[in-house]
Amino acid sequence: MSELNKIAKQMVAEKKGILAADESTPTIGKRLAKINIENTEDNRKAYRELLFTAPNIGEYISGVILYDETIRQRASDGHTFVTVLEKQGVLPGIKVDEGTEAVADSPDEVVTKGLEGLLERLPEYANMGAKFCKWRALIKIGAGIPTDKCIQINAERLAKYAKLCQQNNLAPIVEPEVLMDGDHTIEKCFEVTKKVLLTVFVELKKVGVAFDGMILKPNMIISGSECAKQASAKEVAEMTVKCLRETVPAEVPGIAFLSGGQSEEFACETLNEINKLSAGCPWQLSFSYGRALQASALKAWGGKSENVKVGQEAFLKQAKLVSLARDGKL
């Protein structure tokens, strides 16, 4: 078993999944604003320390995706966050993309940037203790989009990123996200997601990415957020498993779904239904949730040091539910 395969398998170990705590500074600012907390480095650090030091998170969480600022920070006891996670038996990872830029000739679409300088950044992150990386490509559904050009450029960049990661002994999370924003049907989401995934795997193969040393982080097949007919969790599960069976190579150790704006409750329900259909699937069907693991914790904490314990309890309660859903046992 290669080192990359070992890491990838750890990331999708049974009962566990990945916490996405890699919100950029502006994005976490929006989260903090909801609880009327100023977006300062100290507040960002305090909130993330609450999550990473929650007792025994290693029971439910296999890895945490960090942001560049966070991987460089230390907890209040002086240890780096990387060390804090390692002590909990949790793999530290790092988001390495640098946001998006508009597609030439198609201003409503975006491609992810960050390849420039990535070759220099990856060894630095590996030296800090990172074991895996993440790169997110965003695909929007709308009038006349996504275009083939947008899908192709994003797939090519995902492939280049993944290859560079593996060359630095870092397991890549490949995240092509078809956004749920819009009024499109679940059928349209299926059509677009299938096309995106097929294109991504063609490009990954082309550059020589080892499928057994990576994790796929896709969206579920879901109705657009403004679609008049919202699909049930069971329909989401059936369409999602069908799409994956038609696109994802068996060598990939695991699929860690993003929550993509689903509520904590629905993200649990859909994951549970997906895992009920997992018999015969060659991959582990896990999770890599951000908001769907954190919303309750953030609200319970409210930015107050005296609420750290209740914030952690809310986080652990949700993590346990998602862990049960990850095994279809909710």
- Tell me which residues are annotated as active site: 175, 217
The Cα 61–Cα 242 span in angstroms is 27
Secondary structure string (H, E, C) spanning 141-195: CECCECCHHHHHHHHHHHHHHHHHHHHCCCEEEEEEEECCCCCCCHHHHHHHHHH
Q: How many CB atoms neighbour CB 55 within 10 A?
A: 11
Pairing label, strands 100-103, 254-257: unpaired
The Cα 293–Cα 316 span in angstroms is 9
The Cα 130–Cα 63 span in angstroms is 10
